[in-house]
């Protein structure tokens, strides 16, 4: 979202206020000096009046936080006249402590889904709450009371009663009203020095380091609404292509959160037929005239089945979140869902910015194409495949409505190769670790594809890299500002020793333009 152009800065004090020619004197006449003095006095009077008024207003008590249903529309309107915060240049850089999370959950699912939150939550460094419809311990007597390991989870809060609101959608559930109000209820807790409020579901994984980096690009003192739409074209058509889907995360700046908190209950009453929480929140934000700022690292993941095609072709943008992690198949073959997510988050934390970023290189001698998705998979194609095709997501999944046509998805896709002989051999991550600044990953060969190639006699060529069982990928950290102008990474095949191929991945050289060594 672009802000209006700023007025030109006033000239320095020593610069003449009127244009001068080569023949004019550099000294101002007495009459001009008196005008300047009068002008300066007027400015000082206005500034004094402004600071006096600000002092009076700041000393007055703030509005009490009554129950939201007792707010009056008049008080809501008054909140729009509150003084704006100082310009962003006077603040410290954005940090994780400036973010407040509102995590939507339910008492019924929380005992299982808390394991997903535990994978990315950082106790002591993060602020926020899990918002449930009731206590998970009173609604489920079989659930034991909180154990000491609950200290590494966000504190639980119970949402306010939403029975007074109308809900007339014939297919949805009134819980959409409760979840839509998480932002307002979180704001009312009065988190000190909060700059952003982040809404996310409890069945999501969040890369908080990348989230901070991405949000630091924006002016949090303005009304900003950040997120991503659904992967499903049908879902976006039904709801809105300009709506952020909250399962994968929505970031809302402090001024926008304050404005929403002031109008939301009245706004919710205007949309009783809406389906869920995200469309209600979007409707209220639309009333304020704030558009969606899309960031490609937020992933709603309205998909079912195998997520391979999405992870192996992640956009050239910092990975921020994935949703519906218990609906899709395990991320890594041979592991169950939780084990896969544990390895997934381990790779994510090892080098957050480069996680899932792509690198493409070629073995000209053997006519091989190699595509690396850091922290996930290395694919070796037995033919030359151009980058434009490798960057498209292979459709290995179905949409939320169980349709799998390419037109069903709202991003760039491609069909899988029909010929088994053209399919790549895949090496999936099995271990990741750090050595100094270098991140090292061990990727093990998936044998099922090799066996299938042999059965259908993919002659005269054998499977790619027949003597390689492991690929070691060494990657350097990305520059601090890579996310401001992201570019696909470069890779280089190093050497093969005892069945292990080494690949070096790094940022492409800035001065390189089209060189096969650095861009391919």
Q: Tens digit of pLDDT for each residue in 212-221?
A: 999 999 999 9
Q: Is 433 helix (H, G, I), strand (E, B) or coil?
A: strand
Q: 200 and 251 in contact (C-beta within 8 Å)?
A: no
Q: Are residues 103 and 203 in the same domain?
A: yes
Q: Which of 45-49, 180-184, 225-229 has the lowest mean pLDDT?
A: 45-49
Q: Looking at residue 6, what is its pLDDT? A: 39
Tell how strand 470-475 and strand 489-497 pair up.
unpaired
Average pLDDT over residues 483-497: 93
Last residue of a domain, one of 278, 294, 310: 294
CB atoms within 10 A of CB 505: 22
Of 430 and 1, the structure prediction assigns the larger pLDDT to 430
In a domain, 346, yes or no: no
Q: What is the domain-level CATH number for residue 388?
A: 2.70.130.10
Average pLDDT over residues 94-106: 97
Q: Are residues 379 and 271 in the same domain?
A: no
Per-residue pLDDT band at 491 (split at 50, 70, 90): very high
Average pLDDT over residues 398-413: 90
Q: Looking at residue 4, what is its pLDDT? A: 42
Cβ contacts of 266 within 8 Å, gap of 6 or more: 73, 76
Q: 435 and 351 in contact (C-beta within 8 Å)?
A: no
Average pLDDT over residues 6-16: 37
pLDDT over threshold 80, residue 110: yes
Q: Are residues 102 and 231 in the same domain?
A: yes
Per-residue pLDDT band at 76 (split at 50, 70, 90): very low
Average pLDDT over residues 269-298: 97
Last residue of a domain, one of 224, 259, 294: 294
Cβ contacts of 242 within 8 Å, gap of 6 or more: 229, 282, 291, 292
Per-residue pLDDT band at 505 (split at 50, 70, 90): very high
pLDDT per position as a tens digit, 158-184 = 999 999 999 999 999 999 999 999 999
Q: Which two tokens stand for residue 507?
A: 């940022």
Q: Are residues 256 and 373 in the same domain?
A: no
Q: Looking at residue 11, what is its pLDDT? A: 38
Q: Are residues 100 and 222 in the same domain?
A: yes
pLDDT over threshold 70, residue 46: no
Per-residue pLDDT band at 451 (split at 50, 70, 90): low
Of 109, 306, 263, give the one whose Cα is nearest residue 201: 109
Q: Are residues 358 and 233 in the same domain?
A: no
Q: What single DSSP character describes residue 332?
A: S
What's the mean pLDDT when you consider all of the chain?
Answer: 83
Q: Are residues 245 and 378 in the same domain?
A: no
Average pLDDT over residues 83-106: 80
In a domain, 272, yes or no: yes
Per-residue pLDDT band at 54 (split at 50, 70, 90): very low
Helix (H) or strand (E) holding 225: strand 225-227
Phi, psi of 375 (to 5 degrees): 85, 5
- 426 is in which domain, residue-wise? 352-507
Q: Are residues 364 and 290 in the same domain?
A: no
Between vectors from CA 236 to CA 233 and to CA 242, what angle results, nearest 5°? Answer: 130
In a domain, 45, yes or no: no
Tokens 């409760």 correspond to what residue?
Answer: 178
Q: Which of 2-6, 53-57, 60-64 has the lowest mean pLDDT?
A: 60-64
HEC profile of 205-221: EECHHHHHHHHCCCCCC
pLDDT over threshold 70, residue 446: yes
In a domain, 170, yes or no: yes
Q: Which of 42-51, 221-230, 265-274, 450-459 has the lowest mean pLDDT?
A: 42-51
In a domain, 126, yes or no: yes
- Specify the pTM: 0.80
Of 248, 175, 255, give the one whose Cα is nearest residue 222: 255
- As a whole number of angstroms, the distance between CA 191 and CA 429 comes to 40
- As a whole number of angstroms, the distance between CA 316 and CA 484 comes to 11
Q: Are residues 268 and 392 in the same domain?
A: no
Of 83 and 244, the structure prediction assigns the larger pLDDT to 244
Q: Which of 16-25, 223-232, 302-311 has the lowest mean pLDDT?
A: 16-25
Per-residue pLDDT band at 464 (split at 50, 70, 90): confident
pLDDT over threshold 70, residue 98: yes
Q: Are residues 257 and 380 in the same domain?
A: no
Cβ contacts of 273 within 8 Å, gap of 6 or more: 168, 169
Q: Looking at residue 68, what is its pLDDT? A: 40
Average pLDDT over residues 217-227: 97
Per-residue pLDDT band at 28 (split at 50, 70, 90): very low
In a domain, 322, yes or no: no
Angle of helix 277-287 versus helix 254-268 axis, rounded to 10: 110
Of 37, 15, 35, 36, give the one whose Cα is nearest residue 26: 15
pLDDT over threshold 80, residue 205: yes
HEC profile of 351-415: CCCCCCCEEEEEECCCCEEEEEECCCEEEEECCCCCHHHHCCEECCEEECCCCCCHHHECCCEEC
pLDDT per position as a tens digit, 331-367 = 999 999 999 999 999 999 999 999 999 999 999 988 9
Alpha-carbon distance values, 504 to 263, 359, 382, 466 (Å): 53, 10, 20, 20
Q: Which two tokens stand for residue 2?
A: 């672009």
The structural domain count of the chain equals: 2
In a domain, 341, yes or no: no
Phi, psi of 114 (to 5 degrees): -60, -25
pLDDT over threshold 50, residue 59: no
Cβ contacts of 218 within 8 Å, gap of 6 or more: 1, 224, 226, 253, 293
Q: Are residues 258 and 400 in the same domain?
A: no
Last residue of a domain, one of 261, 278, 294: 294
- As a whole number of angstroms, the distance between CA 491 and CA 362 comes to 9
Tokens 């259908």 correspond to what residue?
Answer: 456
Cis check for the bond before 501: say yes or no (omega within 30 of 0).
no
In a domain, 304, yes or no: no
Q: Are residues 402 and 271 in the same domain?
A: no
- As a whole number of angstroms, the distance between CA 202 and CA 105 comes to 6
pLDDT > 90 fraction of the chain, expressed in percent and rounded? 68
Q: What is the domain-level CATH number for residue 289?
A: 3.90.550.50
């Amino acid at each position: 979202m672009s802000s209006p152009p700023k007025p030109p800065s006033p000239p320095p004090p020593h610069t003449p206020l009127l244009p001068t020619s080569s023949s004019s004197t550099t000294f101002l006449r007495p009459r001009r000096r008196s005008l300047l003095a009068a002008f300066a006095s007027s400015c000082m009077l206005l500034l004094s009046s402004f600071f006096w008024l600000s002092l009076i207003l700041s000393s007055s008590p703030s509005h009490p936080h009554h129950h939201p249903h007792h707010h009056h529309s008049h008080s809501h309107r008054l909140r729009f006249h509150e003084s704006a915060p100082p310009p962003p240049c006077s603040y410290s850089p954005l940090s994780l402590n400036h973010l407040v999370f509102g995590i939507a959950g339910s008492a019924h699912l929380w005992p299982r889904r808390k394991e997903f939150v535990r994978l990315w939550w950082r106790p002591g460094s993060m602020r926020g709450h899990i918002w449930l419809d009731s206590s998970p311990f009173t609604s489920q007597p079989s659930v034991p009371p909180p154990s000491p390991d609950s200290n590494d989870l966000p504190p639980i809060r119970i949402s306010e009663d939403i029975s007074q609101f109308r809900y007339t959608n014939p297919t949805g559930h009134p819980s959409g009203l409760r979840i839509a109000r998480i932002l307002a209820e979180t704001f009312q807790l009065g988190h000190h020095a909060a700059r952003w409020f982040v809404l996310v579901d409890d069945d999501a994984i969040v890369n908080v380091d990348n989230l901070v980096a991405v949000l630091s690009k924006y002016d949090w003192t303005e009304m900003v609404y950040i997120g991503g739409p659904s992967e499903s074209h049908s879902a976006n058509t039904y709801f809105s292509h300009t709506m952020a889907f909250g399962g994968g995360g929505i970031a809302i700046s402090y001024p926008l959160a304050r404005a929403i908190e002031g109008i939301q209950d009245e706004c919710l009453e205007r949309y009783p037929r809406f389906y869920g929480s995200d469309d209600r929140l979007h409707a209220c934000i639309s009333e304020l005239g704030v558009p969606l700022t899309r960031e490609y690292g937020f992933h709603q993941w309205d998909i079912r089945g195998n997520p391979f095609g999405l992870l192996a072709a992640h956009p050239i943008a910092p990975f921020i979140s994935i949703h519906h992690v218990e609906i899709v198949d395990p991320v890594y073959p041979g592991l169950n869902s939780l084990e896969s997510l544990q390895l997934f988050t381990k790779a994510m934390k090892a080098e957050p910015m480069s996680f899932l970023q792509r690198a493409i290189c070629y073995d000209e001698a053997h006519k091989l194409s190699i595509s690396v998705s850091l922290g996930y998979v290395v694919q070796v194609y037995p033919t030359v495949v151009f980058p434009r095709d490798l960057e498209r997501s292979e459709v290995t999944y179905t949409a939320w409505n169980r349709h799998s046509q390419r037109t069903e998805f709202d991003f760039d896709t491609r069909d899988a190769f029909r010929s088994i002989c053209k399919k790549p051999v895949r090496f999936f991550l099995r271990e990741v670790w750090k050595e100094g600044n270098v991140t090292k990953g061990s990727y093990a060969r998936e044998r099922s594809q090799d066996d299938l190639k042999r059965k259908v006699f993919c002659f005269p060529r054998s499977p790619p890299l027949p003597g390689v069982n492991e690929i070691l990928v060494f990657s350097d950290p990305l520059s601090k500002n890579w996310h401001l102008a992201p570019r696909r990474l470069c890779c280089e095949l190093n050497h093969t020793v005892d069945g292990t191929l080494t690949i070096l991945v790094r940022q492409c050289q800035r001065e390189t333009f089209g060189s096969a060594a650095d861009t391919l």
